[in-house]
Structure formats: structure tokens, C-alpha cells
Structure 1
Amino acid sequence: MDFEQHLDRAHQVLLKKGFSGAAINPIIYRLARKVGIKLPPPQFAHFGANILAGTLWFGTLWGVIMWFMQWQTLGVSLSYAVNASLITGMFFGLLMSIWYRISAKRKSVPSWQSLAE
């Protein structure tokens, strides 16, 4: 089974389990797939992959918004801005990873590998 078929099966399983379309296919995962990264839905992804995805998109977005709305006028250093964005992104990624793991367990989502069988 190729990745696209595997992904379609995973989406069908998640929809049957009661997840919403936005929850099973967040925009950062769609963007990652468009650039060639074979990332399963967050309910099937590894805990670390979910942390990394959350850190990258949220930390970057939050950091850019904070830079232009507040930090630049306050004279915040670039190193502080990058570190604050990274820490905030990691916190967000960790919380989202925990949420995905709990919701997958609560709804008895099978493993990614078992869907290929």
C-alpha cells in the first residue's frame, strides 16, 4: 500500500471514530505533505513529530506576530525573540501532542502500522 492509500484509509477510520475534518488534517500537515514530507494524521503520528510540527508552525507564526506588533518597538534583541518563539512553540507543540495522544486513546484509534494490513 502506498502512502496516499494509507493516508486515505487513516482519514476514513478517523472520520468513523468521530473526529472532525479539521482535526484529522490540520493545515501544517497538509503543507508538509505538499512539500513531500510523508506525515500521517496527528492522531497516528509519533509524539515527537507532533511536537516538532507544532513547534515549527506556531513558534514561527507567534514570533513573527510578536516581532511586528510589540518586540520591534520595544527594542527586543533578535536572539531573545528567537528563543522566546522557540520555547513558546515547543510548549504549544507539547500540549498539542498530548491532546492528540489522549483523543486517539479515548476513541480507540488503531496504530498507523495496523492500517497497512
Structure 2
Amino acid sequence: MSFEQQLDRAHQVLTEKGFLPSSANPLIYRVVRKLGLKVPPPQFCSFSINTLLGTLWFGSLWGLIMWFMQWESLGVSLSYAFNASLVTGLFFGVMMSAWYKLSAKRKQLPSWGEI
């Protein structure tokens, strides 16, 4: 089975189990797939991949918003801004990874290999 077929089947399983389309196929996962990486839906990804993707997108977005809304005018250093964004993104990434694993377990989803 090709990755695309497996992905379609995974989305079908997620829909059948009651997941919302936005939860089954979040924007960051669609962007990463468009870049050519074969990433399954978050409920089937490893904890580390979910953490990495959550950290990257949320930390970057939050850091940019904070920089232009507050930090620049306060004279915050770039190293502080980077570290704060990284820690905030990491916290978000870990929490979202835990949520995806918990929801997959709660809804008794099969593993990615079983799809």
C-alpha cells in the first residue's frame, strides 16, 4: 500500500472514530506533507515527531507575535526571545503530543502499521 493510500485510510478511520477533520489533518501536517515528507496524521505519529512539529510551528508563531507586539519595544534581547519561544513551543509540543496519544488510546485507534 502506498503512503497516500495509507493516509487516506487513516483519515477514514479517524472520521469513523469521531475525530474532527481539523484534528485528523492539522495545517502543519499538511504543510510538511506538501514539502515532501511522509508524515502520518498526528494520532498515528510518534511522540517525538508530534513534539517537534508542535514546537516548531507554535514556538515560531508565538515568538514572532511576542516580538512585534511587545518584546521589540521593551528591548528584549534576541537570545531571550529565542529561548522563551523555544521553551514555550516545547511545552506546547509536549502537551499536544500527549493529547494526541491519549485521544488515540481512548478511541482505540490501530497503529500506523495496521492501517
Q: TM-score, normalised by structure 2?
A: 0.99
Report the 3-state secondary structure (helix = DSSP H, G, I; strand = E; otherwise coil) of the residue aligned with 1:40: coil
Q: Which residue of 1 aligns with 2:84?
A: 84
Aligned-pair CA distance for 1:102: 0.5
Which 4+ stretches in 1 moved above 4 angstroms? none
- In 1, the alpha carbon distance for the partners of 2:39 and 2:84 equals 27
Tell me the amino acid that sits aligned with residue 98 of structure 1. A
SS at 1:105 equivalent = helix
SS in 2 for 1:14: helix
- Asked if 1:52 corresponds to 2:55, the answer is no
| Deviation at residue 82 of structure 1 after TM alignment | 0.4
Tell me the distance in 2 between the aligned counterparts of 1:13 and 1:25.
Answer: 12
CA separation in 1, counterparts of 2:94 and 2:25?
18
The count of residues paired between Structure 1 and Structure 2 equals 115
Cα separation, 2, equivalents of 1:38 and 1:70: 37
Q: Which residue of 2 aligns with 1:63?
A: 63
Q: SS at the partner of 2:43?
A: coil
Counterpart residue number, 2:17: 17
Structure 1 runs not aligned, ≥5 long = none
How big is the shift at 1:50? Answer: 0.3
| Correspondence for 1:29 | 29
State percent identity of aligned pairs: 67
The alpha carbon displacement at 1:94 in A equals: 0.3
| Amino acid corresponding to residue 93 of structure 2 in structure 1 | G
What is the TM-score when the length of structure 1 is the normalising length? Answer: 0.97
Determine the structure 2 residue equivalent to 1:96.
96
Report the Cα distance in structure 2 between the residues aligned to 1:2 and 1:63, rounded to whole angstroms. Answer: 37
Question: C-alpha separation between the residues in 2 aligned to 1:9 and 1:81?
Answer: 41
Structure 2 distance, partners of 1:38, 1:90, is: 22
